[in-house]
Structure 1
Amino acid sequence: MTIHAVKICTGIAMVSMAMLFFSCKDNYKRVGEEAKKEIFPQGVAENFVLTYTEMQENLSAEDTGASKVLAVISGPLRNDFENLAFPHQTFPEGLLVEIFNERNERTTIEADYGIYYTATAIIDLQGNVIIKGHDGKKLEAPQLYYDQENEWAFTQEKFKFTNPEDGTVMDGEGMDIKKDLTFLNAHKTFGLMLIKEDKDD
């Protein structure tokens, strides 16, 4: 066989193999266990406001008493998936969380998207997450998790923390912080800090 004949046979074999691979389609219709299950929310709320309160004392069936507002969650859209094995709520168009301390001072948390996992009481905040404390402190991150039970926020993403009280701007990667921004544990940091010097006369 000549070299020319080998090249022709190789070319025909390659074209045949290419046609074989490109002609294959997945026309198999999946049914039963293989079928993709579509998940729909059991409820949808638009322009919602959820207020979480706590009673100061236990009440009996016909008592009256005062309650304290712990948090207010609001936003344009909330999807309720509480009927699933791992219940959760999604906030696809963003949300605002207002948290109140014992002195009724407000800390706000804003995000472009959020998921609240009911079983674990953790809120996954994503996209332009901003926490503003009542004293002007501000934390910015692309993603942040907020643990409601421990009143603690954490992330492994980059963050920026601004403290107007001492004039610091701290950038870093990965941190844990108390809900009122009074305690910050940064994993990796870099930033700017102004230090006042004492003038001796």
Structure 2
Amino acid sequence: MRVHKSIGIVSLVFIALLCSCESNFKDVQRINSVAFSPSGETENLNLKYTDSGRVKAILVSPLMLDYSNLEYGFNEFPKGIHLTLFDEKGKESHVVSDYAITYAKTDIIDLQGNVKITSNDGKKLETDQLFYDQKNEWFYTEKNFKFTDGAGGFIQGPGIDFSKDFKIFNMQRNSGEGEINNVE
């Protein structure tokens, strides 16, 4: 009888300890969730970037979450973006995606989901994910892409990187059809 009471007491202590650990675990989870709470939220964002009095870009998004309070701060656009870029002559190019995230320290923008870039002269690039290096003004992806030149030609395949003006391309494996002009 004594052995059974001892086992019962040990079992109760063990269960109490488990319940105590569960409570502590939930506290730790709650602390971590607070650490990744945005420091700010902006709904219906319509941001105009100007330089010397000229509008250079307009960023529109239904929601922006600001995590700049973190060591490696970032801004998240969970409902996507529509970015209009203006060149020196005022011609527009457009970038759209279902999701985007910008990293402050690296100046990298990660665009995801139905990413489309349309230039003012009819060129279009479509992919599932595209990164933009703002410092070097360079786009790149390892995902499958399709680029159409606006004149009926296209290139497609996995992996591409290119300059923001679509003038310099580096591709891995691709296929397509089109007309080649100005070959020196």
**TM-score after normalising by structure 1:** 0.72
Q: Which sits farther off after the overlay, 179-188 or 89-98?
A: 179-188
Q: Is 1:43 matched with 2:40?
A: yes
User: What amino acid does structure 1 have at the position aligned with 2:49?
Assistant: Y
Give, in angstroms, the shift of residue 193 of structure 1: 2.4
Q: Is 1:89 matched with 2:82?
A: no
Give, in angstroms, the shift of residue 141 of structure 1: 0.3
Matched position secondary structure for 1:29: helix
Q: Partners of 2:88 and 2:179 in 1: how far apart?
A: 31
Matches for 1:18-167 after TM superposition, within 5 Å: 28-29=21-22, 31=24, 35-36=28-29, 37-38=32-33, 39-55=36-52, 67-165=53-151, 167=152
Matched position secondary structure for 2:70: coil
- Name the residue aligned to 2:11: none
Q: For the aligned residues, what is the CA RMSD?
A: 2.1
Give, in angstroms, the shift of residue 73 of structure 1: 1.1
Q: Is 1:193 matched with 2:178?
A: yes
Q: 1:61-112, CA deviations, whole angstroms, 9 ceiling, x for partnerless residues?
A: xxxxxx2222221111110111111110000011011222222222111000
What is the number of equivalent residue pairs in this alignment? 158
Q: Partners of 2:89 and 2:135 in 1: how far apart?
A: 19
Bigger Rg, which one? 1
User: What amino acid does structure 2 have at the position aligned with 1:142?
Assistant: D
Q: Partners of 1:73 and 1:172 in 2: how far apart?
A: 29
Greater helix percent: which structure?
2
User: Which structure 2 residue ranges, 5 or more long, are not aligned?
Assistant: 1-17
User: What amino acid does structure 2 have at the position aligned with 1:182?
Assistant: K
Give, in angstroms, the shift of residue 172 of structure 1: 1.3
Q: Is 1:169 matched with 2:154?
A: yes
Q: Partners of 1:30 and 1:102 in 2: how far apart?
A: 60
Q: Partners of 1:150 and 1:69 in 2: how far apart?
A: 21
Instruction: Answer yes or no: is the 8 Å Cα contact 1:107–1:180 preserved in 2.
Output: no
- Name the residue aligned to 2:166: 181
Matched position secondary structure for 1:123: strand
Matched position secondary structure for 1:72: strand
Q: Partners of 1:194 and 1:180 in 2: how far apart?
A: 19
Q: 1:44-63, CA deviations, whole angstroms, 9 ceiling, x for partnerless residues?
A: 111111122223xxxxxxxx
Q: Partners of 2:105 and 2:150 in 1: how far apart?
A: 37
